[in-house]
Amino acid sequence: MAIEGNTEPDRQSPLWGRGRIEHFGLQAASPDAFETIRRRLIDQGASDGTINDFGTVHSIFFRDPDGLEGEVLVPNV
């Protein structure tokens, strides 16, 4: 589903263009943990910190030092 105005796909590698593992997701334990993780990813230059609102969850994407993309999610409460 396309979300009007969402520029996240422009920043990411093309779907299935990332190798054998597309990306992986990790669930934050709480909204506070999500924000702590987000801050640390930004501080390390692994993420620009953009929060994606997917309705039932919020997520941020990051790239590890080897180039693998990951995502941290938390329920949208």
pLDDT digits (tens, 9 = 90+) for 27-64: 999 999 999 999 999 999 999 999 999 999 999 999 98
pLDDT of residue 1: 47
- What is the pLDDT of the chain when averaged over all its residues? 85
Query: Residue 73 pLDDT more than 90?
Result: yes
When pLDDT is cut at 50, 70 and 90, the band that residue 66 belongs to is: confident
CATH fold, domain 21-75, is 2,3-Dihydroxybiphenyl 1,2-Dioxygenase; domain 1 (3.10.180)
pLDDT of residue 13: 63
Do 27 and 74 form a contact (C-beta atoms < 8 A)? yes
Domain chopping of the chain, boundaries:
21-75
Parallel/antiparallel/unpaired status of strands 52-53 and 24-27: unpaired
Instruction: Tell me the pTM.
Output: 0.71
Instruction: State how far the alpha carbon of 30 is from the alpha carbons of 10, 11, 17, 38, in Å.
Output: 28, 26, 31, 12
